[in-house]
Every structure is written in C-alpha cells, then in structure tokens.
Amino acid sequence: MKNHATTACAKAARFAEITKELIRKGNIPRVRKCLTTAEQLLATGSAETKNAISNIYVFSVSTFMELHNCSIANLFPQTLRREYITQVNTSGV
C-alpha cells in the first residue's frame, strides 16, 4: 500500500486506518506488528511523530477497538497502553 500522506499527522491517521483494516480482517499478527511499530515510533520518534502517534494513532485505534469489543489490554504494548489510559483519564470517561 502506498502512503501518500505528507505530514506526521496525516501519516499517523493513515497508519491507524491500515491497523483498523487489519483488525477488521482478523490479521492479529500484522496488527501486533503495527502496534509494535507505533510503540517504537512513540519511544524514538521526533516530538512531532510522538505527538501524532499519541493523539491520532492511539486515539483512533483504541476507539475502534472499543467500539468493536476488542481487548485493548491484550494487544497494546505497554507504552501505547499507558497513552491510552492517559487519554481515557483526561477525557473523564
């Protein structure tokens, strides 16, 4: 799949869409690989990349997983899970 997105935010949104499509298809090994890649980007990326992964990717994928009753605790790596929990606590849900 070609990624024609140009900004970090657009790339994070596209990456989230790819991850959600893999979830829909039930391709859990590839989903785990995407989540691991997002975890690495969150740990080693630039400030812009970290912000995009945290605010766009994690929000989009976690919302999708909740709507489709996927177990977030089992799929999200540790750092992404912490970002998700931070978002949930910030939103007051």
pLDDT band at 2 (very low <50, low <70, confident <90, very high): low
What pTM was estimated for this model as a whole? 0.85
Give the pLDDT of residue 92: 61
In the prediction, which pLDDT does 56 show? 94
Q: Which of 46, 49, 52, 43 shows the shortest CA–CA distance to 82?
A: 43
Tell me if 90 sits within 8 A of 58, measured CB to CB.
no
What is the C-alpha separation between 6 and 22, in angstroms, rounded? 22
Q: What is the pLDDT of residues 24-76, one digit of tens each?
A: 998 989 999 999 999 999 999 999 999 999 999 999 998 888 888 877 667 88
